[in-house]
């Protein structure tokens, strides 16, 4: 049986997708990127996905996994970050299956990254509690215990010093404030120390696009928990979404 699926990573600014070998966690096609349509409505995003999938070689008939910046319960998006509020309470699985004419499975974007790291990356064969964090426009988080996902762990929005701390510690805050690596690391230190105090994890993984520059900030953090960059870097969402789709494929 073919171990292939399409992985799609929908963000507030970009939509990325590729055909994935779900057995080995490798991309079988070029990773394509489209701009997220202004407003991020369901219809506009579905149109972008159709165009993207049409350009993927060997995509015919493959199931699609979509990771999305929202709490997702049974294929329904219960929140919306940096996309249209139309997604709140929206049956995304059914909508995308009708629009794309194939089996589709939707999950939270950080959860997809966590699945990829457990299956193919830094959390493979790690026992105990692993916390996946993605640093980007916001802070996404996923929890895995003994390799099993605990879905929809929204720990990027921890209140520290009276504010939602992703507004201080997300990568977008570094860019917005033109912070040096050292200045940003002080904010990350406060966030990860708080996370460590709450959960006492066995491993923390740092993903998102900035993870490819991990040597500039991770060594500056002083916490007891081992903290490492995501092995799959910015492709983790695509890989995890594809694995999720293939695992739940009913064909």
Domain layout of the chain by residue ranges: 4-111+235-247, 125-230
pLDDT for res 184:
98
Q: What is the mean pLDDT of residues 164-181?
A: 96
Contact 235, 33 (CB under 8 A): no
In tens, the pLDDT along 117-155 reads 999 999 999 999 999 999 988 899 999 999 999 999 989
Q: Which CATH class is domain 125-230?
A: alpha beta
Pairing of strands 104-108, 163-164: unpaired
pLDDT for res 80:
86
Contact 105, 75 (CB under 8 A): yes
Beta carbons within 10 angstroms of residue 187's beta carbon: 18
Q: What is the mean pLDDT of residues 182-206?
A: 98
The sign of the torsion formed by the CA atoms of 7, 214, 149, 151 equals negative
Q: Where are the alpha helices (DSSP H) in the chain?
A: 42-54, 92-100, 109-120, 166-169, 171-176, 181-199, 236-247
- As a whole number of angstroms, the distance between CA 61 and CA 57 comes to 11
- As a whole number of angstroms, the distance between CA 58 and CA 133 comes to 32
- As a whole number of angstroms, the distance between CA 163 and CA 159 comes to 5
Residue % of the chain over a pLDDT of 90:
90
The 3-state secondary structure of 153-166 reads CCCCCCEECCEECH
Q: What is the mean pLDDT of residues 52-62?
A: 95
**251 has a pLDDT exceeding 70:** no
In tens, the pLDDT along 236-249 reads 999 999 999 999 87
In tens, the pLDDT along 7-17 reads 999 988 899 99
Architecture of domain 4-111+235-247 in this structure: 2-Layer Sandwich (3.30)
Contact 240, 109 (CB under 8 A): no
- As a whole number of angstroms, the distance between CA 23 and CA 134 comes to 24
To the nearest whole number, what is the mean pLDDT of the chain? 94
pLDDT for res 250:
67
- As a whole number of angstroms, the distance between CA 43 and CA 96 comes to 9
Q: 211 burial class (0-12, 13-18, 19+ CB within 10 angstroms)?
A: buried
Asked if the domains at 4-111+235-247 and 125-230 fall in one CATH topology, the answer is yes
Q: Which residues have CB under 8 Å from 48's CB, separation 6+?
A: 15, 34, 35, 36, 37
């Amino acid at each position: 049986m073919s171990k292939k699926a399409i992985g799609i990573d929908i963000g507030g600014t970009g939509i990325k997708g590729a055909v994935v070998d779900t057995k080995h966690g490798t991309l079988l096609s070029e990773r394509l990127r489209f701009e997220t349509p202004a407003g991020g409505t369901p219809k506009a995003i579905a149109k972008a996905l159709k165009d993207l999938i049409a350009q993927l070689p060997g995509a015919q008939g493959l199931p699609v996994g979509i990771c999305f910046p929202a709490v997702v319960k049974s294929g329904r998006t219960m929140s919306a970050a940096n996309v249209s509020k139309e997604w709140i309470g929206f049956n995304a699985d059914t909508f995308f299956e009708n629009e794309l004419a194939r089996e589709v499975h939707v999950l939270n974007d950080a959860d997809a990254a966590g699945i990829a790291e457990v299956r193919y990356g830094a959390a493979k064969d790690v026992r105990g509690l692993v916390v996946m964090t993605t640093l980007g426009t916001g802070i996404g988080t996923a929890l895995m215990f003994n390799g099993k996902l605990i879905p929809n762990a929204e720990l990027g929005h921890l209140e520290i010093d009276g504010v939602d701390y992703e507004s201080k510690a997300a990568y977008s805050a570094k860019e917005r404030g033109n912070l040096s690596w050292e200045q940003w690391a002080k904010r990350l230190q406060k966030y990860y120390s708080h996370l460590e105090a709450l959960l006492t994890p066995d491993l923390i993984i740092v993903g998102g696009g900035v993870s490819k520059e991990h040597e500039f900030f991770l060594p500056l953090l002083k916490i007891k928990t081992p903290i490492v960059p995501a092995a799959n870097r910015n492709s983790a969402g695509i890989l995890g979404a594809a694995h999720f789709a293939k695992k739940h494929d009913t064909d």
